[in-house]
A and B are shown apart, each in its own frame.
Chain A
Amino acid sequence: MAVSADPVADTRAHLAKTGWTYTFLADPKTDVIRRYDLLHPVEGTAGIARPAELLIDPTGTVRWRDLTDDYRVRARPEAVLEAFDRSLGSRL
């Protein structure tokens, strides 16, 4: 599930273009982005989200997260899956 500061219409257009099917949420006022302290201020706008990934378990608890220090570099899918496997293992 992905969150950005893009408005609903932009997000819909982007999904139509890419064919991505997982849930994308629109936070144009950046209320939630601010609540998570992930705001990257952009002058003259409400700002955007800095890239971040959080893995949340069924109790709503964060079990893994990645706040990159370079916005070009994001967590790879393998890293997320590995974190998920580790989190599951630690619960057994």
Chain B
Amino acid sequence: MARARNFLPLAGFLVCLFGFLSYFFVFFRFPLTRDVPWVSWLLFAAGLTLLGAGVLRAFRRPDVYRGRVTGPILGVLGLAVVGFFLFLTTVESRRLPVSAGAPKVGEKAPEFVLPDAQGRPVRLSELVAPAGSGGSWVLLIFYRGYW
């Protein structure tokens, strides 16, 4: 008796994997889907639903569907992918130094000279108050870099 292939666990796992990868390759680039990764969560919900349905039917209807071995394996892998994502976006991304000594509101920003992208030195004090002008505001952004 030939039993039907049970494609749901594999489909569910692939949706979970897509939810994981698409965040870092696509949705991370847009604040709307990065700050709160709701698209990834929706994909994980869909993927885990497919996985669950696939594993259930492999065990409830073993006469009809295959997948009693591969189903649970893919289920564990899918849960691992989702768990790793939640770890990265809740624990890991919040692991930041305290920065208690960073300049506070009302304090002077420490002077510095650094090279720009062409290697020309840029001095903070010359930017905030260029000679002969009323001075200008500077938005100083520190970023992690593209290493």
Contacts and interface: CB of A to CB of B under 8 A. Distances in A.
Given A25-B114, A58-B134, 12 more contacts: A3-B141, A4-B145, A24-B117, A26-B116, A37-B102, A40-B144, A48-B145, A48-B147, A51-B144, A52-B141, A62-B105, A68-B96
A92 interface: no
Interface of A: 1-6, 8, 10-12, 14-15, 23-27, 31-33, 35-41, 48-65, 67-74, 76, 80, 84
Contacts, number: 174
Contacts of A55: 137-140
Nearest to A38: B142
A1 B99 contact: no
Binding site of B, secondary structure by majority: helix, strand, loop or mixed? Answer: loop
A65 B103 contact: yes
Given A8-B117, A57-B137, A69-B96, A74 B144 contact: no
